[in-house]
Amino acid sequence: MSDHHHGTTPPSDRALRVRAMEQLLIEKGLIKEGAVDTIIDIFEHQLGPRNGAKVVARAWADPAYKARLMTDASAAIEEFGFAGFQGEYMVVCENTPEVHNVVVCTLCSCYPWPVLGLPPTWYKTAPYRSRVVIEPRAVLEEFGLSIPDDVEVRVWDSNNELRYLVLPMRPEGTEGWSEEQLAELVTRDSMIGTGVAAVPAKGEPA
Amino acid sequence: MNSIHDLGGMHGMGPLPFEENEPFFHEDWERRTLGTHLLTLMTGLAVADEARHSMERIEALHWLASPYYEHWLDGTETYLKEKGIATAEELATGHATEPLPAWAAELSALEPETVGRMITTNHPVTGEAAAAPKYREGDRVRSINMNPRTHTRLPRYTRGKPCTIVAYRGACLYADARSLGDYGAVDHTYTVRFEGADLWGRDAGPKDAVYIDLYESYLEDL
């Protein structure tokens, strides 16, 4: 590149670098103005754990739906209109009194976008990815989750095309609740397996 | 390749970075990096496996010290340069001076509305394999030991270990070959179960297991 940079400061800053890349690809006719904003809007407003919570709540409330979800998760999830990148081949892992499931991607950051959106920072970075396969119980303790020794911990390392959603156990005391009420108890972490569903406060809802 | 991205089983990576009510993005350049990177893939400039391999080749010290989306930014710049789509100078200035290679010149930029539909539509991740699958649920097998310098989805901690076939998942897109330009490649994929003790010996937890999806080419008879 010799002294091609005469008189300009090479971008040292990440913001400048990504702006330059986007601008260059627009100039080359490979992307259109506005397309990046469309993507950002989808990820910030359309995808997220509220989608997954609806799936879980229906699985709790409707045994026929749960059966479909456990047989062909992608199709059952698409009943809600949730589909697309990183959710094409979904598998649901059901937590039981005997088995606790937890999901990771040790090689990168594979995560089921249509139902959970983009992953939290801890999911994408070295501390979680390195440790959860070798000492899952210690990692789960740091999330406030204590798994008894007689419960099997299954760590799902999503490395291929399949993406995993954990079906947490339905909390006690929620008999007769509507799907909307149940969905309120379903946290993001309970669908990754680093948490469990929230326990309803006594007496709510009527 | 055996680089810093292959983290499973390591110690010493520091505390979990918990954050209450974490936003999807912390800074605006992260948003634009996600969007621009995904658009390059959607336009057909690269496949995800090439992108992952570009990120794996980031030097370890820089990888560890840089934020997550900088890996995407670095990786995207790498494959744009390697595939002849952009020069370092063009990426620095944001202005085009070089023509596109013929294959890239034939691609068309996606309309924003098309982009939205593509992201939220399921696309096939399996194909037709030439031969029938070799293994069945319940078979005891072993993951192979290999250490390629190229892209692989067989993590180091799972190499050369006995495991059990839990489910056959169809012939999934074969990442190792796709990262090398064989974009249509598929390979039979199985969910396998590794017992904790087979991976970690006496340091395994009381009842721990790892489930992972392995290509048939990663497996051999036990």
Integer angstrom CA distances of residue A140 from A99, A102, B193:
14, 9, 20
Residue of B nearest to A32 (CA): B109
Distance of CA B152 to the CA centre of its chain: 8
B150 touches chain A (CB under 8 A): no
Residue showing tokens 């007769």: A176
A92's tokens? 């649901």
Each residue's pLDDT tens digit, A12-32:
599 999 999 999 999 999 999
In this prediction, residue A204 has a pLDDT band, given cuts at 50, 70 and 90, of: low
Number of A–B residue contacts, CB under 8 Å: 284
Say if residue A2's pLDDT is above 50: no
Contact B88, A1 (CB under 8 A): yes
Each residue's pLDDT tens digit, A96-133:
999 999 999 999 999 999 999 999 999 999 999 999 99
Q: CB–CB of A161 and B126 under 8 A? A: yes
Say if residue A3's pLDDT is above 50: no
Look at strands B162-173 and B186-195 and give their pairing.
antiparallel
Would you tell me which residues 157-186 of chain A have a C-beta closer than 8 angstroms to some C-beta of chain B? 157-162
Q: CB–CB of B208 and A162 under 8 A? A: no
Distance of CA A24 to the CA centre of its chain: 32
Domain ranges for chain A: 14-45, 49-192
B158's tokens? 């799972």
Q: CB–CB of A20 and B92 under 8 A? A: yes
Say if residue A171's pLDDT is above 60: yes
Residue A173, number of CB atoms within 10 A of its CB: 12
Distance from CA of A185 to the nearest CA of B (A): 16
Backbone torsion region of residue A145, taken as left when φ is above 0, otherwise alpha when ψ lies between -120 and 50, otherwise beta = beta
> Which positions of A are catalytic?
105, 108-110
**Which of A18, A29, A135 is the closest to B109 by Cβ?**
A29
Which of A7-11, A85-89, A189-193, B75-79 is predicted least confidently? Answer: A7-11
Per-residue pLDDT of chain B (222 residues; tens, 9 = 90+): 999 999 999 999 999 999 999 999 999 999 999 999 999 999 999 999 999 999 999 999 999 999 999 999 999 999 999 999 999 999 999 999 999 999 999 999 999 999 999 999 999 999 999 999 999 999 999 999 999 999 999 999 999 999 999 999 999 999 999 999 999 999 999 999 999 999 999 999 999 999 999 999 999 999
Output the pLDDT for position A200.
86
- Domains annotated on chain B, with CATH: 28-119 (1.10.472.20), 126-221 (2.30.30.50)
Contact A115, A52 (CB under 8 A): yes
Output the pLDDT for position A8.
52
A131 touches chain B (CB under 8 A): yes
Q: Which CATH class is domain A49-192?
A: alpha beta
- The residue among A118, A37, A49 whose CA lies nearest residue B115 is A37
Residue A83, number of CB atoms within 10 A of its CB: 20
B17 touches chain A (CB under 8 A): yes
Measured distance CA(B108)–CA(B106) in Å, rounded: 7
Output the pLDDT for position A76.
98
Say if residue A9's pLDDT is above 60: no
Say if residue A206's pLDDT is above 50: no
